[in-house]
Amino acid sequence: MGHYILVLLDENRLERIKGSDVENNIKAMFGGELKCIEVNVPEELSQKILKTFDTARIDARGAITDLPVAFMREFFNQIAEKKSIGPEVIEATLAKADQIKELAAKESEYLPPPDIQI
Amino acid sequence: MSSLLIERPLPHGGRLVERVVRDKEVAKKMIKGCPSYDIKPTLHYETGVPVRNVYREIMSICYGFFSPVEGSMTQAEVERILKERRLLNEWIFPFPLVFDISKEDYKKLGVTKGDRLVLNLKGKPFAILDIEEIWEIDNLEEFAHRVFGTPEDNPEVVKHKFDKKHPGWVIYRSHQPVVLAGKYTIINEPKFRPPFDRFWFPPRKCRAKFDELGWRTAIAHQTRNVPHVGHEFLMKNAAYTGDIEPCHGILVNAIIGVKRRGDYPDETIVEAQEAVSTAGYIKPERRLVSLCLWDMRYGNPLESLLHAIIRQNMGCTHHMFGRDHAAVGEYYDMWATQILWTKGIPSFGFDKAPTDVPYGVHIRPQNMREFAYCPVCKEMAYSETCGHKREGISGSLLRGMVAEGVQPPSVILRPEVYKVVVKWWKHFGYPFCNEKYVRDKERDLEVDLEDL
């Protein structure tokens, strides 16, 4: 059974992938109100993710969940930079595992708030 | 007037308890020469993390939320509750409430029956306890099991034996063994800090507020969460219950107490609930956000009984109950609360619903199922009405979105509610309760006290 990572997209993220092939993979939830991408993860990389990040797990739908927020941010950054959802974005994210782990350790105490007008 | 009109029920027990002395000179005379004791948080019996502060119980008792309870319970009263969920005066009540101290503190204090003990909070005199009895809890683990029930003794609803993963069980397991029983009286009214101050509607004030708003009928909504649109629809639709017209108002009552990592901060919860009204999704004239101090026991059907008592005391005519009400884990049947309010749970002392037993409650339960988004109806739809496949709003999905800084769409979280989440996120540096928040909250509590 293949695994995947669900990447949520808000207006800001949609803007960053606008015009790329990644747009063709956007799925809609909640009547189109929430956009997301399901990024397929090859088995070898799934195992590597699970081994690298001890909070990660595979849920009943086959989704890899409970990844550090720092991982998810970097993962989307790689998608936006490479305009791709291929294995190379997973590999590029995993290449920054040490940096992500460092951020993940801090993120149990601090998470940068979104820059929105209150 | 129609005979079908429902009137506001009397408080549980017939009258509101209000044990608050507001005259400082009188208070000073009351405590002159009395021994005093600094209230300590109850610490987890293994980890030492704060799990309860008895000051919250003293507040809720003295301001009448738990009427007719007036103080720390005697051994006979606790026994009666554990056997039949009734106070010695016959009125039903779900949980033991005691002022517990360690044997060492008891020896140091040297108090006996008949003594008046001054209870200090944050270094200031706060309340008195007139000691009527001193007794010991023999076996704290057994005590904790008896509070929540066991699969053997309560097979109708208890599915798994309680253990240290259950935060309510941990609270009772972490009690100290010596109980000082007797009536409490607050002699120095604490002042709530913002934003909690504007949500403080103790029963007498709440009933007066209902009068001011012209509410004859009001339905209570229990919360410990930031409201998503599913909650909003639950409130709106449950409020259609009433008598010959929908309920005049919705009372949102947030239980404020000790937090666990990963919960939303209490400041976020009360202001996010308020935002639903101020933004007009349910107009403020029909919705009031309030709070009650209590360290949640997560006792599902038992907790629902306490909620019913609190909200009846606050003046509500109805109370909505959903799946897994005030539950954590799978210790109870997910519909245990609705079973209690439909036919009773005999092993807990209720061979009928708590509204139908002698000395029971008079608030009317409204058992609700679930709301989820239907992409065909293009709206939040009720599980028992909509025939399409719906998309549920899970807490983990929302939390994941919030943590990633992805603004949830307005169909699942109102933008005004999200702004409140971000406001307190900026304040605390974190959207949820982290270790620092939990530690600071139990140090600072929700109130400050003036000198007496």
> Taking CB atoms and an 8 Å cutoff, what residues of chain A touch B435?
108-109
Nearest to A72 among B404, B408, B430 (CB): B404
CA distance B283 to B321: 22
Task: Please check the confidence at residue B183 and state whether its pLDDT lies above 80.
Answer: yes
CA distance B235 to chain A (A): 20
CB contact under 8 A, A34 and B429: no
CA distance A34 to chain B (A): 6
Confirm or reject contact between A8 and chain B (CB < 8 A).
Answer: yes
B318-321 and B364-367 as β-strands: parallel, antiparallel, unpaired?
parallel
Averaged pLDDT, A64-87: 93
Q: Where residue B434 falls among pLDDT bands split at 50, 70, 90?
A: confident
The pair of structure tokens assigned to B45 is: 């019996």
pLDDT of residue B176: 98
> Taking CB atoms and an 8 Å cutoff, what residues of chain A touch B272?
none
Confirm or reject contact between A33 and chain B (CB < 8 A).
Answer: yes
> Taking CB atoms and an 8 Å cutoff, what residues of chain B touch A9?
406
> Taking CB atoms and an 8 Å cutoff, what residues of chain B touch A8?
400-401, 404, 406
Residues of chain B with CATH 3.40.50.620: 196-444
Of A67, A114, A112, the closest CA to residue A94 belongs to A67
Chain A residue with the nearest C-alpha to that of B373: A30
Q: Where residue B37 falls among pLDDT bands split at 50, 70, 90?
A: very high
- Quote the mean pLDDT of chain B: 96
Confirm or reject contact between A60 and chain B (CB < 8 A).
Answer: no
Q: Where residue A112 falls among pLDDT bands split at 50, 70, 90?
A: confident
Q: Give domain limits for chain A.
A: 3-106
Determine the residue type at B134. I
Confirm or reject contact between B5 and chain A (CB < 8 A).
Answer: no
- Backbone phi and psi for residue B290, each to the nearest 5 degrees, phi listed first: -145, 175
Nearest to B404 among A34, A73, A118 (CB): A73
By CB neighbour count within 10 A (0-12 exposed, 13-18 middle, 19+ buried), where does B271 fall?
A: buried
pLDDT of residue A46: 95
Chain B residue with the nearest C-alpha to that of A32: B375
Helix (H, G, I), strand (E, B) or coil at B155: coil
Chain A residue with the nearest C-alpha to that of B412: A30
Task: Please check the confidence at residue B408 and state whether its pLDDT lies above 70.
Answer: yes
Please state which CATH number belongs to domain B24-189: 3.10.400.10
Alpha helices per DSSP H over B140-297: 140-148, 167-173, 203-213, 229-238, 266-278
Averaged pLDDT, B136-150: 98
Confirm or reject contact between A14 and chain B (CB < 8 A).
Answer: no
Chain A residue with the nearest C-alpha to that of B389: A30
Confirm or reject contact between A109 and chain B (CB < 8 A).
Answer: yes
With a CB cutoff of 8 Å and minimum separation 6, the contacts of B373 are A30, A31, B229, B230, B379, B380, B381, B390, B391, B392, B393, B411, B412
Q: Where residue B134 falls among pLDDT bands split at 50, 70, 90?
A: very high
CB contact under 8 A, A109 and B375: no
Nearest to A30 among B373, B429, B435 (CB): B373
- Which residues 10-49 in chain B show a CB within 8 A of chain A? none
> Taking CB atoms and an 8 Å cutoff, what residues of chain A touch B378?
31
Task: Please check the confidence at residue A61 and state whether its pLDDT lies above 80.
Answer: no
Rounded alpha-carbon distances, angstroms, from residue B452 to B127, B179, B189, B193: 11, 27, 9, 18
Confirm or reject contact between A79 and chain B (CB < 8 A).
Answer: no
pLDDT of residue A1: 60
Please state which CATH number belongs to domain B196-444: 3.40.50.620
Chain A residue with the nearest C-alpha to that of B422: A113
Chain A residue with the nearest C-alpha to that of B396: A66
Nearest to A108 among B405, B411, B434 (CB): B434
> Taking CB atoms and an 8 Å cutoff, what residues of chain A touch B410?
33
> Taking CB atoms and an 8 Å cutoff, what residues of chain A touch B419?
116, 118
Residues of chain B with CATH 3.10.400.10: 24-189
Q: Where residue A60 falls among pLDDT bands split at 50, 70, 90?
A: low
**Residues B89-113: tens digit of each pLDDT:** 999 999 999 999 999 999 999 999 9
Task: Please check the confidence at residue B253 and state whether its pLDDT lies above 90.
Answer: yes
CB contact under 8 A, A111 and B412: no
CB contact under 8 A, B403 and A111: yes
CB contact under 8 A, B375 and A118: no
**Residues B40-49: tens digit of each pLDDT:** 999 999 999 9
With a CB cutoff of 8 Å and minimum separation 6, the contacts of B387 are none
Confirm or reject contact between B403 and chain A (CB < 8 A).
Answer: yes
Confirm or reject contact between B388 and chain A (CB < 8 A).
Answer: no
Of B420, B116, B435, B143, the closest CA to residue B271 belongs to B420
Nearest to A113 among B406, B408, B422 (CB): B422
CA distance A54 to B435: 20
